[in-house]
Amino acid sequence: MSSTFQIDTATSRANPTPAPMRRLTIPAIRQRKVDGVTAEPVVMLTAYTARQAQLLDAHCDLLLVGDSLGQVIYGLPSSVPVTLDMMVAHGAAVVRGSWHAAVIVDMPFGTYEQSPQQAFESAARLLKETGCAGVKLEGGVAMAETVNFLIQRGIPVMGHIGLTPQAVNVLGGYGARGRSEAEAAKIIDDAKALSDAGAFSIVVEGVIEPLAVAVTQAVPCPVIGIGGSAQCDGQVLVTEDMLGMFERVPRFVKRYEDIATTISGAAARYAAEVRERSFPGVEQTYQPKAPK
């Protein structure tokens, strides 16, 4: 079976059900784009837990263990405080819970910017301790040397340009990027530098739509949009945003469900039944066995 880790089915409700199929590979994702055209768009969603990975896996080509888990899971104000230990723990859980999609793990702020050597040590730990297929890092021209350094040493890299959340303190917020000609030109240069360095794919986030289209047309590798354009080679969203788990979401998010209301309603019904002593009932309790 293709699941990287096996869990005892008799003892764990979190057991992934391995399927008789090969996990998608990084070359297979890269080869989706032929002569500048991606006939089948790449589907990517974030995942942070084994159970979440189980539910998403069959529908996705890529599962991203994003450093957005800082806000989504830990309630942090940004992704900047996220640690490598956090990414290792959640990355391993997602790999255990999946068997079809290729799993990509974000490299958190401060674990790769200092030097290519630092980046290799961090990325190697992520691959060894999670079983993931590749890593994602933010930055364009400035990170091209590092991207090439990692790829030459056997570590697939996905780039991330445009609105780069780890650089929120420099950017001054989460507004759309590429509105000026100079900034748009820089973002295209960033994409080309990452592609030339060997990135197998590039996420372009929070840019005006014409720029997202231009970036997609400028490089031979698949460009994954988030707040970009349907004309990108694929799309990614934070799963909790897409499911309606939060009251406020970025403009570019479409809510496909209202899971927050469902959870809150279920908790309210449970609380009411506990307080009126109608739960647990006969169906949820162990009764004495009838004498033989």
Cα 136 to Cα 87: distance, rounded to the nearest angstrom: 12
Q: Is 138 annotated as a binding residue?
A: yes
Structure tokens at 226: 């988030």
The residue type at 60? C
Cα 146 to Cα 142: distance, rounded to the nearest angstrom: 8
Q: Is 35 annotated as a binding residue?
A: no
Query: How many CB atoms sit inside 10 A of residue 4's CB?
Result: 18
Beta bridge partners of 158: 136, 201
Cα 253 to Cα 129: distance, rounded to the nearest angstrom: 32
Helices (H) then strands (E): counts for the chain: 11, 10
Q: Is 136 annotated as a binding residue?
A: yes
Beta bridge partners of 13: none
Q: Is 106 annotated as a binding residue?
A: yes
Cα 260 to Cα 275: distance, rounded to the nearest angstrom: 23
Q: Is 276 a catalytic residue?
A: no
Cα 160 to Cα 202: distance, rounded to the nearest angstrom: 6
Cα 36 to Cα 140: distance, rounded to the nearest angstrom: 20
Please tell me what DSSP assigns to residue 132. -
Q: Pairing relation of β-strands 102-106 and 134-136?
A: parallel
Q: Coil, helix or strand for 134? A: strand
- Name the catalytic one among 40, 121, 145, 205: 205
The residue type at 174? Y
For residue 139, give Cα distances in angstroms to 219, 247, 276. Answer: 16, 30, 56
- Binding-site residues for Mg(2+): 67, 106, 138
- Binding-site residues: 67-68, 106, 136, 138
Active-site residue list: 205
